[in-house]
Structure 1
């Protein structure tokens, strides 16, 4: 058991990683439940994965709001 630490360097693993994995798993299960195994569910899953990645990156660096603001205002 790793006890919440990296196997190689023993640095504690952030709560963010299991939370992202859990969220991704739940959304995947919901999409397949709703649409079955189809191209439509694959499209929605790719879109959801992209949004999850953007949300996590933006929560750390807060770059997206500045990019959107600069793009919209010229």
Structure 2
């Protein structure tokens, strides 16, 4: 989510305004300290014109998945 927000040049406050919430909520979401409903995830994905899996993915996660795949393939 941070990647999508920064790509648009938005601050946490900008995203909070779009979601009609507080900046502190966005901070907790981005730091992994806030649980989200699927509806909230979909709303965030819609704001960034993406899907939920793309919103949640990061290069680090993708790399770990590839490493796991290699282990399974043996």
Q: TM-score, length-normalised on structure 1?
A: 0.29
- Higher-Rg structure is 1
